[in-house]
Structure 1
């Protein structure tokens, strides 16, 4: 799913328990130790300023010595996601949260208008590759309004030509290429439950595998994954088609895993994705989570009144609803302190302020996470037609670029809790330069 309000005001990051939606869970074995280690990592990053130094730009260690890390397949990485719109990202903002991996997607019809390498998302990822970031590109096939092409048909040949154009631009450069963005949402419902969807994506995957083997017979930097599954927390969405999808992933040696997009109400809902997908992977496969969030939790509160004390303090009508406050913030961005106060005052948000940390920990604990990427910035699509029923993607992003005004010293607005936990989750072994080596073709 992409877009293409203190109990009382108080410190935005008050200490205390931070369960996700629902009852708190008992600490898992080793959780305290992990969090101490994460805290230590955060302290080290913050002490270093989380800014571009020699190790950020030149592939050298923090002491200036050459970085001799060997190439390895990505495992347990947390990166940044911009979907199709990199306009609010910029490498300074990536450095600001210590990100070393970045992900975007390419809508395939756009290839007809301009060469893939000149598409904004692809150009940004190729630039990131040159700057030694890890990169993930998803190929998006939008078929919500028309039937998916059948193998051997003219429309299928058109799609395969687009795929080859994208492959020429990115194979051997991006680290991970994902076949499909959200197939079960970007197709007609009539095609999702039957074999049409599976046949289409399997044919595209087989064609891309053959293309990669032909052009990179001795191995390729670019690893292949199958695109993202949605709504797996709903048993009705675990269908014969999703089972066939995972069977194809499991049975195709050249595919290294599957992507999931758990946009959910709670950590427990996201766990249902893991419980469904992880047991179906081969021993040598992993999963991606190139999008994930609690946006469905936020949406359940868009019609809530904003917190009374926050309203009084900032002179806002206390009958204002959350969605109306978001619209106000977009029209006239708040100072950072007011945005922080709104979030910390809203119980539904404040109790989930460490969701990012807790979710990534759960991903990593499976031992099967390759790369997860989290939204970088608020994009144009998020601020159009804000209303009570619009998904409040605005609340997910690391940078609050549309709801918070830039500070006097030039710093962009941000969601403080997300940014702090994102930095703390970065590991020394994942820092740039990213070297993922080659994979057999």
Structure 2
């Protein structure tokens, strides 16, 4: 756990809502805790680990699948190994309507199934978030009052479950892209206000995949303005993914291309796709990043973001441990640039066989953890 604080971040001013605290920093498995590897976690020196469990996916598989699902098994192993664990309950209603009527059979069924999932993983959890990305894991036409009602009612159910047991911190979210006015919708405001006004909700979760650390500050400030001063904020996902995507079609560095025998006309996305299909020696991958001004200009963004989180009083934030992406078309988000491990674009360590660290992120993570 960090014990340091920072008073300023390149002129970004903290809102006077509460004394700043040193936010904890952890790693994020997303929905792939089947990849749990104790040595990978230990090498990062992390204390916190976050993951989501897809409740609707498990519901489609049936109750018998819960205990043996590889992501549920992996999730439980994390806390058993001594780490603190954040769980996001994911409800993916893309392509279908929200069961927002509490008396409907669909809501009764998903509520009951949520209880069955919690029975399996609750004792392996230190913080629980009702939701993963509600305003993405849904159809645009359904991001209305039905979305709000579903998450409010599901949160009420999880609150009841939680209060009858250990009463661990419970958050609602996560909210995406709050730096953009088009995402600052009435259902978003309603759900944040619900978190503000419900005693047994600790606060909200923000996912901040932005073009700059400044935009992260804008998202936090907007959320804080609707959440009030007393409730907490966590961020279980953050990155400069949007900044990296803006450079997909840049031409790769000519000196780098000549040194490693790469086509000098290739764009960034082409080289990344090449590395995904044919993982590279880490020295080559690092050389590619070091030769790319668009990366080097923001290489301290993880540290800078965590300094910002200290200023804004976030409780904990988690950063991607590894990524899973099969290909890299020109218009795709380059998630693999964000991972602490370059598990897809770099060959394993030839001596140990372990995944290798990406450039810079591990140094920043350890410095701030």
TM beyond 0.5: yes
| Paired position in structure 1 for 2:346 | 404
Structure 1 residues 375 and 241: alpha-carbon distance in aligned structure 2, compared to 1, 3 A threshold: same
SS of 1:136's equivalent in the other structure is strand
Q: Quick check: 1:315 aligned with 2:261?
A: yes
| 4+ aligned runs moved over 6 Å, structure 1 | none
RMSD over aligned Cα atoms: 1.8
Query: Is the 1:104–1:121 contact (alpha carbons within 8 Å) kept by the matching residues of 2?
Result: no
| Paired position in structure 2 for 1:83 | 30
| Paired position in structure 1 for 2:17 | none
SS of 1:142's equivalent in the other structure is coil
Extract unaligned runs of 5+ from structure 2: 1-8, 14-20
Query: Is the 2:34–2:73 contact (alpha carbons within 8 Å) kept by the matching residues of 1?
Result: no
Query: Is the 2:203–2:233 contact (alpha carbons within 8 Å) kept by the matching residues of 1?
Result: yes
Measured in 1, the distance between the counterparts of 2:251 and 2:34 equals: 33
Structure 1 residues 392 and 424: alpha-carbon distance in aligned structure 2, compared to 1, 3 A threshold: same
Measured in 2, the distance between the counterparts of 1:87 and 1:404 equals: 20
Of structures 1 and 2, the one with the larger relative CO (CA 8 A, separation 6+) is: 1
Q: Quick check: 1:191 aligned with 2:133?
A: no
Q: Give the 5 Å matches for 1:270-281.
A: 270-281=216-227
TM-score normalised by the chain length of structure 1 = 0.76
Query: Is the 2:12–2:214 contact (alpha carbons within 8 Å) kept by the matching residues of 1?
Result: no
Q: Quick check: 1:101 aligned with 2:48?
A: yes
Give the Å deviation of 1:98. Answer: 0.5
Query: Is the 2:34–2:75 contact (alpha carbons within 8 Å) kept by the matching residues of 1?
Result: no
Give the Å deviation of 1:168. Answer: 1.3
| Paired position in structure 2 for 1:92 | 39
Give the Å deviation of 1:406. Answer: 1.6
Structure 1 residues 185 and 306: alpha-carbon distance in aligned structure 2, compared to 1, 3 A threshold: same
- 281, 286, 295: which one aligns with 1:340: 286
| Paired position in structure 1 for 2:80 | 130
Structure 1 residues 121 and 130: alpha-carbon distance in aligned structure 2, compared to 1, 3 A threshold: same
- 329, 335, 351: which one aligns with 1:393: 335
SS of 1:383's equivalent in the other structure is coil
Q: Give the 5 Å matches for 1:316-331.
A: 316-331=262-277
Measured in 2, the distance between the counterparts of 1:377 and 1:124 equals: 15
TM-score normalised by the chain length of structure 2 = 0.90
Largest Rg, 1 or 2: 1
1:350-387 Cα offsets, whole Å, 9 max, x none, are 111111000011011112x12211111122xx124x21
Q: How many aligned positions are there?
A: 349
- 173, 176, 180: which one aligns with 1:227: 173
Extract unaligned runs of 5+ from structure 1: 1-24, 30-73, 427-441
Measured in 2, the distance between the counterparts of 1:425 and 1:120 equals: 31
| Paired position in structure 2 for 1:142 | 92
- 61, 64, 70: which one aligns with 1:120: 70
